């Protein structure tokens, strides 16, 4: 049965393993690993930046970016549910001495422009200095509308603020836009990234690499970022064996993200039907809308323990937590989930008897 917990559980494909085995290696701390250098140059050109930096994790590339844009006592405006604020151990405050200014997320995942504007501090010694606006795309599987991103960027520029994108699943957003617009996924990714001074891109989620994330920005910004990476313990030596997996992912696993999105729609439709007509789950299982590879379902308290136990006993792996008095399950499709596995999971749901 499938593992829906996250797209981080993917295993390298045989072709990716072959690329890793064949990768030419050097010492990346000295800057002479050809596979790392090739990945960085390729990613920068792909997304329209001057330079890129390979690091072990997206948490680290986000923190490096925040520390590049902000000094001690500066402030970054973030979403209340952004990973940079809620899910990365408080690193910006603990390690960067950067004050996060959280803004409440709207129902569609955006931050209201008026709320961003209101959070920007005046130039007054009583306040932390606002220096940066952070967005996340996708956020909870939702794609931030492209016109909205442009409006946030316009506001930030008018107030002399930098823009950083936590684009862990940037290519999922681009794939959704490409499908909606009949355009190319790489062109959409480049257009989304164009509004930002820096972008963090995860290679080990939907793209399927085992390890790694990229930070993209100007040449000077990335030169400073390299120093910060070393300070944070992210300097790796023969990292080309990992970079080769990332290179393979960028070349071969981007267009196939549309398959994950199609599978999620299948899964969502089946779960929604269970929420309408299942003898036990009808009226007790709520299914949120989804447009990429992440789906949330909410279970009433009277059925949640039995249902989650049923899924676990039958090998359907999901993550769960309490939200607004209900149990929220997160379902994520990825390159190791097949159509047959989605069908098996839905069959398991239908056989639940409470």
For residue 33, what is the DSSP state? -
Across 294-311, average pLDDT: 96
For 277, residues 6+ apart whose C-beta sits below 8 A from its C-beta are none
Residue 190, pLDDT > 80, answer yes
133 burial via Cβ count (<10 Å: 0-12, 13-18, 19+): buried
pLDDT of the residue at 12: 98
Helix, strand, coil percent values for the chain (each to nearest 5): 45, 20, 35
Q: What is the DSSP letter of 3?
A: B
On the CB side of 103, how many CA atoms lie within 13 Å of its CA?
23
Contact 327, 301 (CB under 8 A): yes
In sign, the C-alpha dihedral spanning 262, 264, 265, 267 is: positive
pLDDT of residue 1: 72
Q: Residue 41 and residue 277: Cα distance in Å, rounded? A: 52
Q: What pLDDT band is residue 164 in, cutting at 50, 70 and 90?
A: very high
Q: Which whole number is the average pLDDT over 91-117? A: 97
Q: Where are the alpha helices (DSSP H) in the chain?
A: 14-22, 34-47, 58-69, 91-94, 113-119, 146-158, 170-181, 185-193, 219-231, 240-252, 257-277, 304-313, 339-350
Predicted confidence (pLDDT) per residue in 45-90, tens digit: 999 999 999 999 999 999 999 999 999 999 999 999 999 999 999 9
Upstream peptide bond of 138 is cis (omega within 30 degrees of 0)? yes
Q: Phi, psi (5° rounding) for residue 217? A: -175, -160
Q: Please state, rounded to an integer, the average pLDDT across all residues of the chain.
A: 97
Residue 323 in this model has a pLDDT that exceeds 90: no
Q: State pLDDT tens for residues 227-286.
A: 999 999 999 999 999 999 999 999 999 999 999 999 999 999 999 999 999 999 999 999
What is the predicted pLDDT for the residue at 186? Answer: 98
Show the domains of the chain with their CATH numbers: 7-252 (3.40.640.10), 257-350 (3.90.1150.10)
Confidence grade of residue 289 (pLDDT, cut at 50, 70, 90)? confident
pLDDT score recorded for residue 41: 98
User: For residue 290, what pLDDT band results from cuts at 50, 70 and 90?
Assistant: confident
Instruction: Match 């797209």 to its residue by tokens.
Output: 7
Average pLDDT rounded to a whole number, residues 197-222: 98
Q: At 11, is the secondary structure helix, strand, or coil? A: coil
With a pLDDT cut of 70, the percent of the chain lying above it is 100
Cβ-in-10-Å burial (0-12, 13-18, 19+) of 219 comes to exposed
Q: Indicate the length of the chain as a whole number.
A: 354
Q: For the beta carbon of residue 230, count every other beta carbon within 10 angstroms.
A: 11
Q: Name 353's Cβ contacts closer than 8 Å, sequence gap at least 6.
A: 279, 280
* SS3 state at 317: strand
């Amino acid at each position: 049965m499938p593992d829906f917990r996250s797209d981080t559980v993917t295993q390298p494909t045989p072709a990716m393993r072959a690329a890793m085995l064949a990768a030419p290696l050097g010492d990346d701390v000295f800057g002479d690993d050809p596979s790392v250098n090739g990945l960085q140059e390729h990613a920068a050109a792909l997304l329209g930046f001057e330079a890129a930096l390979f690091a072990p994790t997206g948490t680290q590339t986000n923190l490096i970016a925040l520390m590049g844009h902000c000094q001690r006592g500066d402030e970054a405006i973030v979403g209340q549910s952004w990973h940079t604020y809620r899910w990365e151990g408080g690193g910006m405050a603990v390690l960067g001495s950067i004050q996060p200014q959280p803004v409440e997320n709207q129902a569609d995942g955006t931050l209201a422009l008026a709320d961003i504007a209101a959070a920007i501090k005046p130039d007054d010694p009583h306040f932390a200095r606002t220096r940066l606006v952070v967005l996340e795309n996708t956020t909870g599987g939702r794609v931030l509308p492209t016109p909205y991103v442009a409006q946030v960027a316009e506001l930030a520029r008018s107030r002399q603020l930098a823009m950083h994108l936590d684009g862990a699943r940037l290519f999922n957003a681009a794939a959704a836009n490409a499908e909606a617009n009949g355009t190319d996924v790489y062109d959409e990714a480049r257009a989304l990234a164009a509004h930002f001074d820096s972008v963090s891109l995860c290679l080990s989620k939907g793209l399927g690499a085992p390890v790694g994330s990229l930070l993209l920005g100007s040449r000077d910004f990335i030169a400073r970022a390299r120093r910060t990476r070393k300070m944070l313990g992210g300097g790796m030596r023969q990292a080309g064996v990992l970079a080769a997996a990332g290179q393979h992912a960028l070349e071969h696993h981007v267009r196939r993200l549309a398959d994950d999105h199609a599978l999620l729609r299948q899964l969502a439709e089946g779960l929604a039907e269970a929420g309408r007509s299942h003898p036990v789950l009808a009226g007790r299982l709520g299914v949120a809308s989804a447009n990429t590879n992440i789906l949330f379902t909410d279970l009433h308290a009277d059925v949640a323990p039995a249902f989650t136990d049923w899924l676990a006993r039958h090998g359907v792996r999901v993550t769960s937590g309490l939200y607004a008095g209900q149990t929220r399950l997160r379902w994520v499709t990825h390159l190791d989930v097949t159509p047959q596995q989605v069908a098996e999971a839905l069959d398991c749901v239908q056989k639940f008897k409470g």
